[in-house]
């Protein structure tokens, strides 16, 4: 799944470490999310969206035919 | 902070090995005969050394414990842990089945019998856990 997390995060001027602390995850998780290596759970997706005051669809882009992680 | 945790884990591992070796050696030096207590002595020293090391680390870096708790709940790490457990389980099963075949071919009926019992036992536990989780979710 593609996402705009890196773009949004850098626009807000926060580091991966800071975002990880805010969301209660590891810095590696943020890095993996940004690189598209890992798809978040619905709970984490909501947390990210809430933090950036956006909708999930504004950050994560679902493409037909995607499944699994 | 995550790098510190990684370093701490490496140090914990080293302390475990050293603690065990020192404990076992100390037991021998004190003139005791070789017995199961030799290993228990090693394990006790590991527990003491690890506890002291952890206390020192947490005092030196107060945020370390908080970060560790945070990482325990990290969904990606939980996913990785689950995946690792799944793969390990499959590998262990494959090894056990190969061993069973080897025992059958070599005519070690008794070992093959016990091993098949063990495989069935593990499989039954796996099914029970699956059933329980299926009911809960």
Fold annotation for A2-58: 434 Repressor (Amino-terminal Domain) (1.10.260)
Interface of A to B at Cβ within 8 Å reads 17, 21, 24-29, 32, 38, 40-41, 43-44, 69
Structure-model confidence comparison of residues B8 and B2, the more confident one: B8
Q: Give me the interface pTM, i.e. the ipTM.
A: 0.84
- Separation of alpha carbons B125 and B134, rounded Å: 14
Is A28 in contact with B73 (Cβ distance < 8 A)? Answer: no
pLDDT tens-digit map of B22-38:
888 888 888 777 677 88
SS3 A3: strand
pTM for the full model? 0.73
- The confidence score (pLDDT) of residue A69 equals 52
Query: How many A×B Cβ pairs under 8 Å?
Result: 30
Encoded tokens for B54: 């952890």
**Contacts B86 to A, Cβ<8 Å:** none
Q: Where are the domains of chain B?
A: 1-73, 74-137
Which secondary structure element, helix H or strand E, spans residue A36, and what is its range?
none
pLDDT tens-digit map of B39-52:
888 888 889 888 88
Is A25 in contact with B79 (Cβ distance < 8 A)? Answer: no
Tell me the pairing of strands A60-61 and A2-3. antiparallel
Q: Where are the domains of chain A?
A: 2-58
Query: A8: closest CA among A44, A43, A41, A56?
Result: A56
Encoded tokens for A49: 């969206």
Is B76 in contact with A32 (Cβ distance < 8 A)? Answer: yes
- The confidence score (pLDDT) of residue A67 equals 65
């Amino acid at each position: 799944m593609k996402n705009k997390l890196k773009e949004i995060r850098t626009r807000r001027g926060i580091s991966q470490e800071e975002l990880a602390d805010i969301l209660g995850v590891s810095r590696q998780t943020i890095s993996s999310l940004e690189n598209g290596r890992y798809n978040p759970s619905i709970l984490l997706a909501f947390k990210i969206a809430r933090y950036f005051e956006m909708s999930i669809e504004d950050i994560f882009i679902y493409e037909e035919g995607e499944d699994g992680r | 902070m995550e790098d510190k945790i990684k370093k701490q884990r490496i140090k914990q591992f080293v302390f475990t090995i050293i603690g065990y070796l020192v404990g076992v050696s100390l037991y021998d030096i004190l003139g005791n005969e070789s017995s199961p207590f030799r290993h228990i002595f090693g394990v006790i020293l590991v527990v003491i050394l690890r506890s002291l090391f952890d206390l020192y680390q947490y005092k030196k870096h107060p945020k370390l414990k908080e970060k560790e708790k945070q990482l325990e709940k990290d969904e990606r790490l939980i996913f990785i842990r689950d995946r690792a457990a799944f793969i390990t389980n499959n590998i262990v099963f494959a090894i056990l089945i190969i061993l069973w075949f080897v025992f059958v071919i070599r005519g070690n009926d008794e070992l093959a019998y016990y091993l098949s019992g063990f495989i069935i036992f593990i499989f039954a536990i796996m099914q029970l856990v699956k059933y329980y989780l299926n009911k809960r979710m």
